[in-house]
Amino acid sequence: MSAALDPPQPTAQRRRVGAVRATALCYRVLIRQIFSVGRLVALGALGAVMVVVGWVVGNSADGGGSANAGALFDGASYADGFGLIIIVPIVSLVFAAASLGDVRDDGTLVHLWLRPMGRAPLVVAAAAASITVSLPLCVVPTALGGWLATDFVADSGGVALGALAAAALGTVAYSCLFVLLGLLFRKAVLWGIAYVLLWEGLAVGLGDFAERLSLRGYARTLLSRIADVDLGFTAYGLITAVIVLAGVSAVSLALATVRLGRINVD
Amino acid sequence: MNARPRPVPAHTPDVAGDEPVPESAAGAAAPAAPPAGMVEVHGVSKFFGDVVAVSDVTFAVRAGVTALLGPNGAGKSTLFRMMCGLTPPSRGTVRVLGADARSDCDVRGRIGLSPQQDALFDRLDALEFTAVAAATQGVTDPEAAARHALGIVELDPDDGRPVSGYSKGMRQRTKLAAALVHDPEVLILDEPLNGLDPVQRRRMIELLEDLGAQGRCVLVSSHVLGEVARLGSRILVIAQGRLVASGDYRELRELMDDRPHRISIEADRPRDLAAALVTSGTVVGVRIDGDVVVADTLEVDRLGREIAPLAKDLGARLRQVIPLDEDLESVFRYLVERR
């Protein structure tokens, strides 16, 4: 080994890494860290189950014009009940909680933390990496499963489009929330599952007020409004649902940025 | 042993400077001005719940190689983490190049850290890993810098294997390359010699000495005394979260001036020589082991002057005279364990 380095540079020549470049660099690293064949197969299989069951539901529906509205309702309910309650939050949780939580737990966070760049790019990169991986695993089965469950009746395209939009925006919001969760708790996946099952899955059944405090409620509003199917929660309009989901995403990332600046890095 | 007070609290150790900086009286409320240095640690304590990891440590380090020596769990890694801003001190201040790395974005680009834990981005190869380090440090040509840094630590940039397949020594060198890749002014290396074979250790020590000689502040931690002795560096001895001594190892040995020095004298008339040494009063105890006289003395300089004339008077032939306890093991045991 030989010290063939130049003497240290004066401070003025040193560069801070810009936010966009820092985000891109962290994104490239984190997406490779969170992506694994095991996760892909397990969560992809969950999506495949939704698609197959959706096809079975669609084929078992009664035909005829009077059943048209019922088929649309069945498809939208299925996209909500399987896609928005199970697939979207679980898939988002697995990847988003791992994006910073895993690198914090395994000690590699230091390689991105002790750098001349802000904290926000690292958080944004983590969310972007999680969303990149989660989005196809959430959107495709939710939209396709919901559409198949309508048995392709007239206007079934609206259900597919609504399910697609709801799954996409839901994935973004859940991913941002679970990036924060990964920085707040060591066993973030367990905490996240408890949240998804106990709050998003059960508590929202307590009524409109509880549903207003759940991400699923707003994702379902999107589905309901775009598909023009009454799923029972109609307190807000389409724009409000979009704004709330975007707001939750932004606030989660802001809190995660603050949290990242305060944590102890191993 | 004896009840001699601990050597450090009398002054603020400035391990790279010539003049120690006076510290305020022990227990005084007003802290002294922090000592100047590339790394400044002033009155720093760190608590994890009820556990005191670091307790009221003050020192300053300038350019060159400085070793942080202490047993496992002494608080070395916690001190390094505080220097890098990875965890805040519970009390006191830590400054690297005059800034707090936890809040100052720019100073983080002037620090190179090789952490103790063996955690790398395992799906990347060494070139990718080091290039990511370079890019996130703002280096303009990350791949060229990465190739250069890997060359310094004698790793093949074109190996192509993910670092998960590397040996511990190769991973250690990959971490060092990543720490060096942006040409930092302050290098903080936590147990960097772990996992290296003897040849690699020797080369790593030479590299660290060269980096220190170039004007970088190189801080190296170790719990292995032999490594620190070979580094020939200034030493900060940490035990139970406290700084118990500082200086080069000879200075540390001088702290033990109330303890007899043990000298091995190999001669062809060991019994006569031992008797003469006792009679002369230069030794406080002798033991004979074959042809070797092991003598304990409080006056090592006088013994050095008188041993040759004594042997000559006896007609004995001296073959070898060597100190037995000027190794760091003895110093460390004395400072930390008082035995």
CA distance, residue A11 to nearest chain B CA (Å): 8
B208 & B305 share domain:
no
| Residue B16 included in any domain | no
Which segment, A11-25, A117-131, B293-307, is predicted with the most confidence on average?
A117-131
- Tell me what the pLDDT averaged over chain B comes to: 84
Note whether B175 and B270 are same-domain residues: no
Residues in chain A: 266
Q: B245 in contact with A at a CB cutoff of 8 Å? A: no
- How many domains does chain B contain in total? 2
Confidence (pLDDT) at A68? 80
Same domain, B61 and B79: yes
B17 domain-assigned: no
For chain B positions 180-219, those within 8 Å of chain A (CB to CB) are: 180, 183-185, 200, 203-204, 206-207, 210-211, 214-216
Can you tell me the distance from the alpha carbon of A159 to that of A166, in angstroms, rounded to the nearest whole number?
Answer: 10
By Cβ distance, the residue of A3, A5, A14 closest to B109 is A14
Q: How many angstroms separate the CA atoms of B26 and B43, rounded?
A: 11
Together in a domain, B198 and B62: yes
Residue B7 domain flag: no
Mutant choice from B47, B103, B121 vs A, greatest count of A C-beta within 10 A:
B121
Domain end call among B254, B288, B316: B254
pLDDT at B154: 92
Q: Which residue of A has its CA nearest to B175?
A: A111
Task: List pLDDT tens digits, range A51-88.
Answer: 999 999 888 866 555 568 788 888 999 999 999 999 99
Q: Output B301 or A14, whichever has higher pLDDT.
A: B301
Q: At what angle do helices A19-34 and B126-136 cross, to 10 degrees?
A: 150
Q: Do B136 and A17 touch (CB under 8 A)?
A: yes
Rounded to whole angstroms, the Cα distance separating B232 from B31 reads 32
For residue A6, what pLDDT is reported? 55
Confirm or reject contact between A5 and chain B (CB < 8 A): yes
Q: What is the ipTM of this complex?
A: 0.85
- Which two tokens mark B51? 């556990």
Angle, helices A19-34 vs A88-105, to 10°: value is: 100
Test the A interface: residue of B136, B170, B208 with most A CBs within 10 Å: B136
Residue B230 lies in a domain: yes
Q: How far is CA B61 from CA B23, B47, B219, B239, B327, in A?
A: 16, 23, 8, 18, 23
Report percent pLDDT > 90 for chain A.
Answer: 69
Give B 116-145 residues with CB within 8 A of chain A: 117, 119-121, 123-124, 132-133, 135-140
In 3-state terms, what secondary structure has residue B158? coil
Cβ-based neighbours of A20, under 8 Å, separated by 6 or more: A121
Crossing angle of helices A120-149 and A37-59, rounded to 10°: 30
State which residue of chain A sits closest to B122, comparing Cα positions: A33
Is B84 within 8 Å of A114 when comparing Cβ atoms? yes
Note whether residue B28 is domain-resident. Answer: no
Say if residue B122 is in the same domain as residue B184.
Answer: yes
> Which of B:76-95 have CB within 8 Å of A?
81, 84-87
For residues B93 and B198, state if they share a domain: yes
Q: Which of A133-147, B82-96, B289-303, B323-337 has the lowest mean pLDDT?
A: B323-337
Contacts of B139 in chain A (CB under 8 A): 15
Residues B281 and B243 in one domain: no
Question: Is residue B5 over pLDDT 70?
Answer: no
Is the same domain home to B277 and B246? no
Asked if residue B190 is part of any domain, the answer here is yes
Q: Which residues contact B277 (CB under 8 A, 6 or more apart)?
A: B283, B286, B293, B295, B303, B307, B310
Of the listed ranges A91-95, A206-210, B115-119, B200-204, the one predicted with least confidence: A206-210
In a domain, B4, yes or no: no
Interchain CB distance below 8 Å, A9 and B183: yes
At B131-149, the pLDDT tens digits run: 999 999 999 999 999 999 9
**So what's the pLDDT on residue B3?**
35
φ, ψ of residue B54 to 5 degrees: the values are -140, 135
Question: Closest to B108 (Cβ–Cβ): which among A2, A26, A116?
Answer: A116
Q: Over pLDDT 70: what percentage of chain B?
A: 83
Higher pLDDT, A139 or A68: A139
Dist CA A133 CA A127 (whole Å): 10
Number of residue pairs across A and B with CB atoms under 8 Å?
Answer: 121
Domain harbouring B284, CATH code: 3.30.70.2470
Question: Is the domain of B214 the same as that of B269?
Answer: no
For the cut 60, the answer to whether the pLDDT of residue A243 exceeds it is yes
- Tokens representing B83 are 């220097």
Decide if A7 touches B, using CB distance below 8 A.
Answer: yes
Nearest by CB to A1, which of B121, B184, B207? B207
pLDDT digits (tens, 9 = 90+) for A101-126: 999 999 999 999 999 999 999 999 99
Cβ-based contacts of A8 with chain B (< 8 Å): 110, 183-185, 214-216
Average pLDDT, chain A: 89
Residues of chain A with Cβ-Cβ distance to B216 below 8 Å are 8
Rounded CA-CA distance B2/B99 in Å is 42
Q: Residue window 95-134, chain A: list those with CB within 8 Å of chain B.
A: 106-108, 110-118
Q: Is the pLDDT of residue B13 over 60?
A: no
Structural domain includes residue B337: no
Amino acid code (one letter) for A23: T
B135-168 burial, b if ≥16 CB within 10 A, otherwise e? Answer: bbbbbeebeebbbbbbebbebebeeeebbeebee
SS3 B162: strand
**Does pLDDT of B7 surpass 70?**
no
CA–CA gap between residue A162 and residue A73 (Å, rounded)? 12
Residues B290 and B170 in one domain: no
Domain boundaries, position B317 = 261-324
* DSSP letter string, A151-196: TT-TTHHHHHHHHHHHHHHHHHHHHHHHHHHHHH-TTHHHHHHHHI
Find out whether B245 and B8 touch, Cβ atoms under 8 Å. Answer: yes
Task: Name B40's bridge partners.
Answer: B60, B95
Half-sphere exposure of A153 (CA within 13 A, CB side): 25
Instruction: Identify residue B184 by its one-letter amino acid code.
Output: P
Distance CA A89, CA A112 (A): 27
CATH code for position B67: 3.40.50.300
Task: Please give the structure tokens belonging to residue B245.
Answer: 């001594």
Confirm or reject contact between A66 and chain B (CB < 8 A).
Answer: no
Question: Both B75 and B154 in a single domain?
Answer: yes
Mean pLDDT over B256-273 rounds to 82
Q: Does A239 touch chain B (CB under 8 A)?
A: no
What's the CA gap between A146 and A55, in Å, rounded? 9
pLDDT digits (tens, 9 = 90+) for B242-253: 998 888 877 776
- Higher local confidence (pLDDT), B198 or A96: A96
Round to whole Å and give the CA distance between B231 and B204. 10
Q: Which chain A residues have a beta carbon less than 8 Å from that of B154?
A: 1
Query: Which residue shows structure tokens 């939750």?
Result: A248
Residues B220 and B93 in one domain: yes
- Give the contacts of A209 (CB within 8 A, at least 6 positions apart): none
> Which of B254, B271, B306 lies at the terminal end of a domain, its last residue?
B254
Q: Which pLDDT does position A76 carry in this prediction?
A: 92
pLDDT for position A28: 95
Query: ∠A57-A60-A66 over CA atoms, to 5°?
Result: 100
C-alpha to C-alpha distance for B328 and A28, rounded to whole angstroms: 46
